[in-house]
Amino acid sequence: MKTIARKIIMIIILLLIFNTTVYAGVNPPRDKIEAIIDEVAVKRGIPAILLKGIARVESVYKHFNSDGSPKICGTSIGLMQINNVYGGYDNYKLKYDILYNIEAGADVLLNKWSMSSYNQVSSVGNMDPNILENWYFALWAYNGWSQSNNPVSPYAKKYTYQQLVYDVIEKEYGKKINNIDFSYLPRESKPSRSLIVPTPNNRSSGNIIFYEEGDYVRTDGIRRAYYLRDAPAGNYVHQLSVNQLGTITEGPVLKNGYYWYKVYIDETKEGWIERNWLLRTGDTQYGRYIYEDISFHWARKIIMDMYGRGIVSKAALYNPNNPVTFEEFCIFLSRTLNYIENVNKQSKIQTRNTILYYDFTNVHFWALDFVKDIYERGLMEAIHPLEDLNRKKATLLIEDILISSDKYADIDINVIFSDLETLTEEEISAVKTAYVNGIVSGKHIKAFCPDEYLTRAEAAVMMSNIVNKYVR
C-alpha cells in the first residue's frame, strides 16, 4: 500500500509540474497585462500610464517568447526587462511570475525616481510625482543613465528612451507629456546631479491616489524592510517588516519627491513613511474593509456603509467597477426599501398597483425573493435578470418611489444634461425625477450618459442617496 501511495503521489506531482509547464509560458492578453500594471501602479503611488509606457517600450507587453520561455535580452528579464545582475530580486520569479516582474519594474522606477529626488541625478521642478513631466530623468535612468539618452548630445540615439515612452503614451493612450526645456542640458556630457530643470508650464497630472487621516494601512511591496522616520525625509527611527499594520495620523506632506504620511504603529513606534509602501486596508470609521478590491475606490466608504446597513452582502470582492445586473440592482433596491421601512417603522412604501403575474423561472434562486419584492411593489414591468442595467433603466426602476414636486416643474433637464435627445418622454421624466431628488448625477460635465452601464459602485451610491433621503 505504501508503494502504491508513493506512486500516486508521484503521478500527482508530475501532473502539477506538467500543468505548470503548459500554462506558465503563455502571455495574457494586453488588457489583462494593463489591468495588472494599473493595480501595481496604484499600490506603489506611480502614475500608471508611465509604467504602461515602459512595459510597451521594453517588451511590447510580452513576458514570454513564442516557445514559452521567458523573454530575456542580455541580462534583462521579462515584461519590464529587469536587469538583475546585482541580485536585488528573485531571479526565478522575475522569469515566471508576471505580477512579480511588474512589481520589480515599479521598484526599479521608484529607485530611479529616488536618484533624482536625492540629487544623485538631475531633477525636474519640485519633484511632485503626480506631475508626469517631473519623471523625465527617472525614465531616462530606467534605461541607463547614459549620454545616448541625452536628446541634445551628438551621441544621442535617434529616439531617446524617454521620448519613446512619451510617444507610446501619446499615440496609444492619448495622453500628452510635454518635454522639459532641453536648453538646460549639456551637449558634451550627462547632466550634473545638481541640475534642476523647471517643470514645463504645460503639464499633465497623474492618477496617484492619496490617503486620509484615520486610514488603516499596512506596509506592502516586494522589499523586505521598510522604515519610519522622525520627519518627512528625515532620519530612520524604526524598521518595519512587510504587512506591518498601522494608522495614518498626519499627511500627506510632499518632501524630496515623495508624499509622506505619519503612521502610528503602537505606543513605541510612530513615524513618517513614503506613500509608496503603504496599502490602505480600512479606516477608523468603518473598520477593516471586508472587500479586497475597494481600498483605492472613490466609493469605498459608501460601499462599507451599505454593508453595515445590510444592503450589500459580505464577499471577498465587491467588483465596484463591474456593471450591475438587473437582479443585483433588485437585491440592492429591495434591501434598501425594507431597511427604510424597518428604521422608520412604517408599512411598505406606496408605489403603483401590482401588475400581472410573471414567470420567475429565469431568475437565480438567490435573487428570487428580492426580484419578487420589487415586482410586487409595481416598480417594473419586465424582468431581465442577467441583463446589465444601464443608467436610464435604473432611474425608471426607482422613479415611483421618489417624490414628484411642482417645485422642480420648470427645470429643463435637457439644459442640465445635453445627451438625453434619444430618450423617450418617460425616460427623460425618470432621469429628471432621480436628479432633482438627489439620487443620481451626471458622469461628466453636462452628460448623464444614459446608455452607459451602471456600475456596482454607482448602484451603492444610489442606494445610499435613497436611504439618506427617506430615513428620518
pLDDT tens digit string along 16-75?
343 334 336 899 999 999 999 999 999 999 999 999 999 999 999 999 999 999 999 999
pLDDT(181) > 80:
yes
Half-sphere exposure of 167 (CA within 13 A, CB side): 7
Q: How confident is the model at residue 346 (pLDDT cuts 50, 70, 90)?
A: confident
Mean pLDDT for 276-304 is 96
Residue 188 has pLDDT above 60, yes or no: yes
User: Cis ω on the peptide bond leading into residue 186 (within 30° of 0)?
Assistant: no
Whether pLDDT at 190 is above 50: yes
352: confidence class by pLDDT, cuts 50, 70, 90:
low
Domain over 30-197 is classified CATH 1.10.530: yes
User: Average model confidence (pLDDT) for the chain?
Assistant: 90
Domain assignments of the chain as residue spans, ordered by start = 30-197, 215-288, 300-470
Q: How far apart are CA 285 and CA 65, in angstroms?
A: 48
CATH fold label, 215-288: SH3 type barrels. (2.30.30)
Q: Confirm if 172 and 56 have CB atoms less than 8 A apart.
A: yes
CA 277 to chain centre: 16
Mean pLDDT, rounded, for 114-123: 88
| Angstrom distance (rounded) from CA 27 to CA 41 | 20
C-alpha cell at 466: 435613497
Grid cell in block for residue 191:
547632466
Burial of 222 (0-12, 13-18, 19+ CB in 10 A): middle
pLDDT at 189: 84
Residue 318 has pLDDT above 60, yes or no: yes
Whole-prediction pTM: 0.86
Give me the sheet containing 82-83, strands edge to edge. 72-73, 76-77, 82-83
Element (H, E) at 420: none
